[in-house]
Amino acid sequence: MSILVDKIRSCFKDTFKRMPAIIVRSPGRVNLLGEHTDYNEGFVLPAAIDRAVYLAVDERQDGKIVVHSLDFDQKATIDPEKPEHSPLHWPDYFTGVISELAALNHTVNGIDCVFGGDIPVGAGLASSAALEGGFGYALNNLFDLGITPINLVKIGQRAENNFVGVRCGVMDQYINVFGRKGRVIRLDCRSLLLEYYPFNSDRYQLVLCDTGIKHDLSKTDYNKRRQQCEASVKILQRFDTHIKTLRDVSMHFLDTHADALSAELYQRSSFVIRENFRVLNGCRDLQNQDYDAFGKKMFLSHAGLRDDFQVSIPELDLLVEASQDLEGVIGARMMGAGFGGCTITMIEVDKVKEFERYIKKTYKQKTGKTLKIYTCSIEGGVSVINV
């Protein structure tokens, strides 16, 4: 971390000829269970991780917002009076946050910012939420805006919904703000109430296998999946007007009225309903330290994402199937919205190296591609770091 922070601080000094006022660490996240349940007002089980975006920020006096990407070696100037989409794409996350702050009558002066990080882009680790959360958090501190943590979450989500154009749920922004070291969060995406659960990091390691296939949620079927869930709800509301989202539907109710849905809408709905129950039951497994039972739910989650929600791809399926019978592997599944990105695998700590050798060799043989692997630990949420 210190090397990366030093690079960002030095880049800020070289670019803007002074030192930054603050540097913010904004983490990526993993999600152990609960995929595509957040925008259905269901339950998710994410954790903030040690991979993060770092933002060096300071005020400027001319009202301009100038952001420099260390990783892309690109600079963008944002006009808060005329927010426009950028052909570079990454500035849109910053513009979205500025637009949402303006909508809430929060005035920020000019801003200089340099950012960079070690979250793989497009791998399903919520790099976009890390940008939104980190930038909002930095501005809140720099200008003393008095925005509460939960409202920072909502600002980040609305930035992605309204300006970037991805109709994401609230999970990524939430864990970015509320993450806690050594704990996963069971988040109720309807009430936004949370409960922390322990994760035994001494015995088990979380390992991410990156397919190398990048996804852009604004250009995939992600929004279509959300529309399909909403379409199912509209049909099911004919039979029970109390239903607001798939969170309110049981499998018994869905099966009773299955004839009213197309086969495709039934598949989408059944996955979401079952995934919600996997999260709730998985939390009990963690509380009871029954990691074998928890791992089985990870495998079941992947099967549902592959067969019923149909957001997996052959490369993700290969990684999960190849790991399923390996000694020391407790559970594995694709993670994130799908259409690319990573798998998340829970492995006994002393079996990680053996797993890495085998899975890299298998992936190369089957696809001809080199597999990137990241181990990660569970860390805290967004914060100003001591430099």
User: What does the pLDDT read at residue 215?
Assistant: 64
pLDDT digits (tens, 9 = 90+) for 266-278: 999 999 999 999 9
User: What does the pLDDT read at residue 1?
Assistant: 55
pLDDT digits (tens, 9 = 90+) for 17-36: 999 999 999 999 999 999 99
Sequence-ordered strand ranges (E) for the chain:
22-33, 43-60, 65-69, 74-78, 110-117, 183-188, 194-198, 204-210, 329-334, 342-348, 372-376, 383-384
Q: How many CB atoms lie within 10 A of CB 114?
A: 27
**Of 235, 12, 5, nearest in space to 114 by CA:** 12
Residues of the chain with pLDDT > 70, as a percent, come to 98
Q: Tell me: pLDDT of 322 over 70.
A: yes
User: What does the pLDDT read at residue 213?
Assistant: 87
Given 172, 210, 248, 285, which residue is catalytic?
172
For residue 161, give the DSSP letter: I
Strands of the sheet with 372-376, listed across from one edge: 329-334, 342-348, 204-210, 372-376
Average pLDDT value for residue range 134-161: 96
Q: 325: pLDDT confidence band, cut at 50, 70 and 90? A: confident
The full length of the chain comes to: 387
Q: Which long-range contacts (CB under 8 A, 24 or more apart) does 284-293 make?
A: 286/184, 286/197, 286/198, 286/199, 287/197, 287/198, 289/200, 291/200, 291/203, 291/204, 291/330, 291/346, 292/330
What is the Cα–Cα distance from 187 to 45, expressed in whole angstroms? 6
What is the Cα–Cα distance from 110 to 108, expressed in whole angstroms? 7
6 is catalytic: no
Average pLDDT value for residue range 168-190: 93
Average pLDDT value for residue range 318-325: 95
Place of tokens 């959360």: 133
**β-pairing verdict for 383-384 and 22-33:** antiparallel
Is 71 in a helix, a strand, or coil? Answer: coil
What is the Cα–Cα distance from 93 to 133, expressed in whole angstroms? 10
- Going along the chain from its start, the domains and CATH numbers come out as 2-200 (3.30.230.10), 204-376 (3.30.70.890)
pLDDT digits (tens, 9 = 90+) for 200-233: 889 999 999 999 887 665 556 888 999 999 999 9
Average pLDDT value for residue range 120-143: 91
- pTM, two decimals, is 0.89
Place of tokens 């890299």: 360
